[in-house]
Chain A
Amino acid sequence: MLINSADTVVADALHGMAAAHPELDVDVERRVVLRRDAKTGGRVGLVSGGGSGHEPLHGGFVGYGMLSAACPGEVFTSPVPNQMLHAAAGVDSGQGVLFIVKNYTGDVLNFQMAAELAEEDGLSVERVLVNDDVAVTDSLYTAGRRGTGATLFVEKIAGAAAEEGAPLDRVAALARQVNESSRSFGVALSACTTPAKGSPTFQLPEGELELGIGIHGEPGRERRAMMTAREIADVAVGAVLDGLAETGGPADGPVLALVNGMGATPLLELYGFHAEVARILAARGVPVARALVGNYVTSLDMAGCSVTLCRADEELLRLWDAPVQTPALRWGR
């Protein structure tokens, strides 16, 4: 691993972010990445966060038209309430703060505690839960669907609305709409290695793959013999479309498509995979309004990818196209 020590991985990366992006206020001590102008625009503050190891999520999405602040936890471990409180105080300009929370027990509990404490401090706080992963059945018998690729859609679209000056309830409503209109499915071709453990989090023999994985190196629901990109895309897109059908949107409405690499899969392969995704969607009569291909919501050095589709009306597409300027996503400005 390209590290100094497992204990300093997160701090070292934050020092690097600070050096590479002077336009961001990176507080290494308090573990918060902030927009320098977060407090001055009279905008709703957007705060997200989660375990490290998913870069560029979330710190790479801080900037104009997207997040106001991000709280990186230890690798694959939720940040703590102090970080979120510091972020909330650092971005609140009196318009309130939206916490964007991926649905994992740790993230939910820590953001919940932070929201309660922030409200005691007099801040208006709304929380939006992202839970788009169809590999987990949303039932009484699990912690519920995980938050994965749709987090990028939520942060971009809510961020664009906040940049335009939309009030907190409107920004929160849009974020919820994006989440409810999005579904994802992930596949691993290899496990990942956390710096603390130093060996793969699960054993995946050569020539096998895991279907329905999350973004924390946890195994998926099912293991199969290696498949081609075309076969994998059939399973993944099929699962996502089945999940979207349950949301009740129009079956032939336009979608935002994200083909997301898990960290160790080359863009060459991701584009090849996207060709299969596009082919299947065309065959199913689903127009792809916008597509994004790359490594955005990763799982350290895991090989594999996920597919996220979001049914997008004209307003969501307009906000998706709005200018954004962050380390990892930038266009139109």
Chain B
Amino acid sequence: MRDAEFFRDWLEAAAAAVEREADRLTELDSPIGDADHGTNLLRGFTAVRTALAGADPSTAPGALLQLAGRTLISTVGGASGPLYGTLLRRTGKELGEDPEVSDTALHRALEAGVGAVAQLGGAAPGDKTMLDALTPGVAALGTSYRAARDAAEAGALATVPILARKGRASYLGERSIGHQDPGATSSALLLTALADTAEGTS
């Protein structure tokens, strides 16, 4: 079972990964976006750190994810804010108020979260978006956390030859081909942080 401490550790690991990779995310966002993905996520996850530090120690896993989601929506801006915010909020809502959740429940909740992202953004896997890492990554959670990390990272790398169909990269048409999608890359960071946290505690 995963308790609130696990979720705090996951979000902290995600914040640390964003901090470490912010420049790279912004660099990836330059040729096919507007060179701010790392900056924006760093602002958001820094605020998440502050929000979690201020949250009551008894806050349940679901409420922690919802708090993190709300914080991202109100600090990140751009498309990433609502999309990542919705991912965490919906996942948190699915987890309910239980003080501990099973891996199966977390897997199901993340599936609902990814579904909400797809609905909000109107995108599908293969459009060169966050979903290219989130969808295979969360699907592989049924196997293991390690498999989820590998699938998410492979999914992010696999966006390189794809023609973007959603988001700002879609304006480039064929010139979006040959670049790794920054959103898929940050999504892989989030799932890698989850897998690393799970492996460190299980």
Give A contacts to B, CB under 8 Å.
51, 73-82, 104-106, 109-110, 112-113, 135-137, 140-143, 146, 194, 196-197, 201-202, 214, 216-219, 221
- Can you give 22 contacting A-B residue pairs, CB < 8 Å? A51-B77, A74-B39, A74-B43, A76-B34, A76-B36, A77-B36, A77-B40, A78-B79, A80-B81, A105-B79, A105-B121, A135-B171, A141-B165, A142-B170, A142-B173, A143-B171, A194-B36, A196-B39, A216-B168, A217-B35, A218-B171, A221-B172
Q: Is the CB of A221 within 8 A of B173?
A: yes
For residues 28 through 78 of chain B, which have their beta carbon under 8 Å from a beta carbon of chain A?
A: 30-36, 39-40, 43, 73-78
Q: Other than A141-B165, A218-B172, give 5 A-B pairs with Cβ distance below 8 A.
A: A76-B34, A78-B77, A142-B173, A196-B36, A221-B171
Kindly state whether residue B120 has any CB partner on chain A within 8 Å.
yes
Q: Is the CB of A109 within 8 A of B165?
A: no
A234 to B39, CA, bound (A): 39
Q: Is the CB of A75 within 8 A of B36?
A: yes
- Please judge, given known A-B contacts A76-B34, A109-B79, A196-B26, whether A81 and B73 are in contact too, CB under 8 Å: yes
Set of chain B residues within 8 Å of A196, measured between Cβ atoms: 26, 35-36, 39
Set of chain A residues within 8 Å of B172, measured between Cβ atoms: 218-219, 221
A3 to B151, CA, bound (A): 43
Q: Mark B75-110, 1 if CB is under 8 A from A, else 0.
A: 111111111000000000000000000000000000
Name the residue of chain A whose CB is nearest to the CB of B165.
A141
Set of chain A residues within 8 Å of B20, measured between Cβ atoms: none
CB distance from B188 to the nearest CB of A (A): 20
A287 to B145, CA, bound (A): 65
- Please judge, given known A-B contacts A74-B77, A104-B168, whether A221 and B34 are in contact too, CB under 8 Å: no
Which secondary structure dominates chain A's binding surface? loop
Kindly state whether residue B167 has any CB partner on chain A within 8 Å.
yes
Q: Is the CB of B171 within 8 A of A74?
A: no
A79 to B170, CA, bound (A): 21
Q: Is the CB of A80 within 8 A of B76?
A: yes
Residue among A136, A137, A143, A216 making CB contact with B34, cutoff 8 Å: A216
Q: Is the CB of A136 within 8 A of B171?
A: yes
Q: Is the CB of B121 within 8 A of A109?
A: yes
A217 to B33, CA, bound (A): 8
Q: Is the CB of A105 within 8 A of B166?
A: yes
Q: Is the CB of A113 within 8 A of B73?
A: yes
Q: Is the CB of B79 within 8 A of A218?
A: no
- Please judge, given known A-B contacts A82-B74, A196-B26, A202-B30, whether A105 and B36 are in contact too, CB under 8 Å: no
A77 to B40, CA, bound (A): 8
The residue among B43, B82, B172 with the most chain A CB atoms within 10 A of its own CB is B82
- Please judge, given known A-B contacts A105-B121, A106-B81, A196-B35, whether A80 and B73 are in contact too, CB under 8 Å: yes
Question: How many residues on chain B are close to A (CB under 8 Å)?
Answer: 34
A85 to B31, CA, bound (A): 33
Q: Is the CB of A201 within 8 A of B30?
A: yes
Set of chain A residues within 8 Å of B168, measured between Cβ atoms: 104-105, 143, 214, 216, 218
Name the residue of chain A whose CB is nearest to the CB of B38.
A196
A76 to B37, CA, bound (A): 11
Q: Is the CB of B34 within 8 A of A217?
A: yes
Q: Is the CB of B81 within 8 A of A143?
A: no
A248 to B83, CA, bound (A): 36
Set of chain B residues within 8 Å of A221, measured between Cβ atoms: 171-173, 175
A221 to B79, CA, bound (A): 22
Set of chain A residues within 8 Å of B35, measured between Cβ atoms: 76, 194, 196-197, 201, 217
- Please judge, given known A-B contacts A196-B26, A196-B35, whether A78 and B78 are in contact too, CB under 8 Å: yes
Set of chain B residues within 8 Å of A82, measured between Cβ atoms: 74
Set of chain A residues within 8 Å of B78, measured between Cβ atoms: 51, 73, 77-78, 106
Set of chain A residues within 8 Å of B32, measured between Cβ atoms: 218
Residue among A105, A109, A219 making CB contact with B175, cutoff 8 Å: A219
CB distance from A91 to the nearest CB of B (A): 20
For residues 98 through 151 of chain B, which have their beta carbon under 8 Å from a beta carbon of chain A?
A: 120-121
Q: Is the CB of A142 within 8 A of B120?
A: no
A99 to B120, CA, bound (A): 19
A74 to B43, CA, bound (A): 11
Set of chain B residues within 8 Å of A109, measured between Cβ atoms: 79, 81-83, 120-121
CB distance from B22 to the nearest CB of A (A): 10
Residue among B26, B80, B173, B175 making CB contact with A106, cutoff 8 Å: B80
Set of chain B residues within 8 Å of A77, measured between Cβ atoms: 36, 40, 76-78
Q: Is the CB of B120 within 8 A of A143?
A: no
Name the residue of chain A whose CB is nearest to the CB of B163.
A141
